Amino acid sequence: MKLTKDAVIEALRTISAPGEGKNIVDSGGIQNVLIFEDQVDLDVVLKNPSLQARKKMEVEILKAIHEKVYAKAKIKVNTIIKAAEKLTPIKGAPLPGIDSIIAVASGKGGVGKSTITANLAVTLAEMGCKVGLLDADIYGPSMPTMFDMEGARPLSVQIEGQSKMEPIENYGVKVLSIGFFTKPEQAVIWRGPMATKALNQMIFDAAWGALDFLLIDLPPGTGDIHLSIVQALPISGAVVVSTPQNVALADAKKGIAMFQQENIQVPVLGIIENMSYFTPTELPDNKYYIFGERGAEYLAQDKEVPFLGGIPLIQSVREAADFGRPASLQEDSQVGEEFVGITKKLVSQVVFRNKNLPPTKAVEITNLVGCEAVKSQL
């Protein structure tokens, strides 16, 4: 066969592009094919920078041209390494079709934040809202248990030609959790970047559909996950959960301060006090303030944020969470009425916030967020 550019390109079409399911010509891997007498000079673009990959591709190109075009051709292969695109960190693109995104946080673990989040979500759904719940507590996911979804696995669906995770729905709430992808006894031991990558997928690679509210159950404290979330999404507002105990309130203050940070500025929609008091079944008129009295309410007044209400310490709330049926679903119950009242106040705060404040934007954060002492020295 005569040594021509067209003949060389046709021969190269028999070589597969690594990892792309196409040949190296159609994938754009061959550039600048030059023919001069018996000399062939061409550029090949590779994403794998290893010496082994380059040598393998060069051998395949030489073999294809020598066997299919001209056995005595002198071939020069110039390798161009094109670095694979880095995984884009979660940025700040709004999620189409989601009206309001509410982050639920707590300064300290064990105050019942996840229990409150689950019951808020179910109560909103009972009110007729379309609700999603993202379990962002990567290291201690609770939602699969609280929604009776242990062992469930999200299915893949095609949305506009793209494969997306379909959240699992129960009690009218669409839920995604890292707990769907791990065994119950498996510990999630990830550094920040790995956790951020997992969040990235659950946020942007999920088929949430149209939602009135997306609730995000944050991990306790303030850290990588919190910063990733406020960078990822335009959060409409945050709710802080605490018990009335001074130790818990001290950390709740830090949670509020994080959202009110100058370069974060996420509106705090209110504080919810959990385990406000204990009333024995046999003494329904008695209230025992085991963890202190009205501590979260006083904190709300001090920080000038709304107090959304308190949930008493009731055994049925714990039992309902363990059983996988949130307590707010209990008809004609005290706790159900409490959650309805709190949820109505929360919705009012969201409406007020959306009416009086500009749309939230995802924030840009430097490495010195929160480090006022460091920044003052620069």
Give me the pLDDT at residue 373, please. Answer: 40
Q: Residues 253-273: what's their mean pLDDT?
A: 90
Residue 376 has pLDDT above 80, yes or no: no
- φ, ψ for residue 53, nearest 5 deg: -65, -40
Mean pLDDT of the chain: 85
User: Count of CB atoms within 10 A of residue 3's CB?
Assistant: 17
Go through the domains of the chain in sequence order and give each one's CATH number.
Answer: 5-81 (3.30.300.130), 99-372 (3.40.50.300)
More confident position, 58 or 193: 58
Judge contact between 8 and 19, C-beta under 8 A: no
Q: What confidence score (pLDDT) does residue 162 get?
A: 81
- Residues 307, 270 contacting (CB under 8 angstroms): yes
**pLDDT interval class at 103 (50, 70, 90):** very high
Classify each residue of 141-153 as buried b or exposed e, where b means 16 or more C-beta atoms within 10 Å of its C-beta.
bbbbbbbebeeee
Instruction: Give every CB contact of residue 197 below 8 A, 6+ residues apart in sequence.
Output: 87
Average of per-residue pLDDT across 192-211: 85
pLDDT tens track for 121-170: 999 999 999 999 999 888 888 999 999 998 888 888 888 778 889 999 99
Q: What is residue 19's predicted lDDT score, i.e. its pLDDT?
A: 63
How large a percentage of the chain has pLDDT more than 90? 41
**Residues 312/275, Cβ–Cβ less than 8 Å:** yes
Angle, in degrees to the nearest 10, between helices 334-356 and 113-126: 80
- Token pair 């959304």 in the structure block, residue: 308
Nearest CA to 229 out of 350, 100, 90, 99 is that of: 90
- Per-residue b or e along 310-319, where b marks 16 or more CB atoms closer than 10 Å to that residue's CB: bbbbbeebee
Out of 58-67, 107-116, 226-235, 339-348, which region has the weakest mean confidence (pLDDT)? 226-235
- pLDDT level of residue 182 (50, 70, 90 thresholds): confident
